[in-house]
């Protein structure tokens, strides 16, 4: 399949991940890190089938972002669909590679079932503490989202490798940073791709505005993305292109005697 866009270390496909994933080489990626539609915005069918802006836009948040697709399944439908794409994604993953799949509290049990139905070995749950969220009078605030993580087959303990902690307090993106209504902070994705080796390849079947790709570029990893909506493909391609240009500029400055750090030490 012809890519929508490419860079030095990234490739982006425009299409349905169920069609694109089977075309990827088996065992070609080190990690699958992704934020699929949760299909959880509402208690009733009428709520779930509303547009994503209607479900997720909060007071003060702009609604000029296009709705994204695939967010209207019930729990059983969501579980079956996740098991399908997760099985295709596992085929593309090296033995010992990992998957991290975002979800919220409603779909957390469904997602842990789906990763196992897709053939992965469920390893645990990572927690994202979003900090300041909408207060709930008389109730606990829903200030956390989760990343269910799993491995492709056995994952022997390697004490020579770094430890990666599984709970992070990182604030949500500001309104100006939200290129996608469900966007996650780059700093958070940099944590989640941590177990992927330097120079390794990370796959995101639901690329959205390209945050996982930007995190990979900033940390020296390769990236393969898939996105169904062409509007977000365009945004993701622009962000990753800019991220590569920024990294090249930083590298160039660091290699010269006029780098800010060199001036500081010289003084």
Reported as a single tens digit per residue, the pLDDT across 167-201 is 999 998 655 565 656 679 999 999 999 999 999 99
- At residue 60 the predicted structure's pLDDT band, cuts being 50, 70 and 90, is very low
Which letter does DSSP use for residue 176 in this model?
G
Residue bearing the bigger pLDDT, 92 or 52:
92
The answer on pLDDT for 45 being more than 90 is no
Phi, psi dihedral angles at 149 (to 5 degrees): -120, 150
Query: b/e string for 124-159 if b means 16 or more Cβ within 10 A?
Result: eebebebeeeeeeeeeeeebbbbbbbbbbeeeeeee
47: its two tokens: 């709520």
Instruction: Give the whole-angstrom CA distance, residue 221 versus residue 238.
Output: 18
Rounded distance between C-alpha atoms, residue 247 and residue 239, angstroms: 12
DSSP 8-state code for residue 11? E
pLDDT digits (tens, 9 = 90+) for 99-144: 999 999 999 999 999 999 999 999 999 999 998 788 889 999 889 9
Using a cut of 0.85, tell me whether the model's pTM lies above it: no
Burial class (CB in 10 A: 0-12, 13-18, 19+), 8: exposed
Residues 6+ apart with CB under 8 A from 112: 122, 125, 148
Amino acid 173: pLDDT = 64
CB 218 within 8 A of CB 173: no
pLDDT for the residue 215:
97
Among the ranges given (9-18, 30-39, 171-180, 213-222), the one the predictor scored with the smallest mean pLDDT? 171-180
Angle (CA) 52-57-59 rounded to 5° is: 160
CATH of segment(s) 5-266 = 3.40.50.150
Contact predicate 6/12, CB 8 Å: yes
Task: Please give the full DSSP string across 26-37, using - where no structure is assigned.
Answer: TT-EEEEEE---
pLDDT (0 to 100) of residue 223: 98
Domain boundaries, the chain: 5-266
Per-residue pLDDT band for 264 (boundaries 50, 70, 90) equals: very low
Edge-to-edge strand ranges of the sheet holding 121-129: 5-6, 10-14, 222-227, 201-204, 29-34, 93-103, 144-151, 121-129, 167-169
Question: In degrees, to the nearest 5, what angle opens at C-alpha 111 toward C-alphas 156 and 232?
Answer: 100
| pLDDT at position 134 | 82
pLDDT at residue number 252: 76
Going by pLDDT thresholds of 50, 70 and 90, the confidence category of residue 262 is: very low
Structural contact between residues 206 and 227, judged by C-beta atoms closer than 8 angstroms: yes
Mean pLDDT of the chain: 86
pLDDT surpassing 60 at residue 62: no
């Amino acid at each position: 399949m012809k890519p929508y866009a490419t860079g030095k270390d990234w490739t982006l496909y425009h299409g349905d991940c169920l069609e694109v994933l089977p075309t990827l080489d088996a065992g070609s990626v080190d990690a699958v890190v992704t934020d699929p539609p949760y299909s959880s915005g509402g208690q009733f069918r009428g709520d779930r089938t509303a547009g994503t802006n209607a479900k997720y836009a909060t007071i003060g948040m702009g609604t000029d972002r296009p709705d994204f697709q695939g967010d209207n399944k019930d729990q059983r439908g969501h579980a079956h669909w996740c098991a399908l794409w997760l099985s295709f994604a596992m085929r593309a993953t090296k033995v010992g590679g990992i998957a991290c799949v975002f979800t919220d509290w409603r779909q957390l049990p469904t997602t842990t079932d789906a990763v196992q139905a897709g053939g992965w070995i469920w390893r645990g749950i990572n927690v994202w503490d979003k900090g300041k969220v909408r207060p709930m009078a008389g109730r606990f605030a829903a200030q956390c989202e989760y990343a269910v993580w799993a491995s492709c087959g056995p994952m022997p303990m390697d004490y020579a490798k770094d430890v990666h902690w599984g709970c992070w307090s990182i604030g949500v993106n500001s309104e100006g940073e939200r290129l996608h209504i469900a966007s996650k902070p780059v700093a958070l994705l940099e944590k989640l791709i941590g177990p992927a080796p330097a120079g390794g390849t990370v796959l995101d079947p639901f690329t959205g505005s390209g945050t996982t790709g930007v995190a990979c570029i900033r940390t020296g990893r390769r990236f393969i993305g898939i996105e169904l909506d062409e509007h977000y493909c365009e945004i993701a391609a622009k962000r990753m292109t800019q991220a590569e240009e920024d990294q090249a500029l930083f590298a160039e400055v660091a290699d010269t005697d006029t780098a800010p750090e060199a001036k500081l030490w010289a003084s």
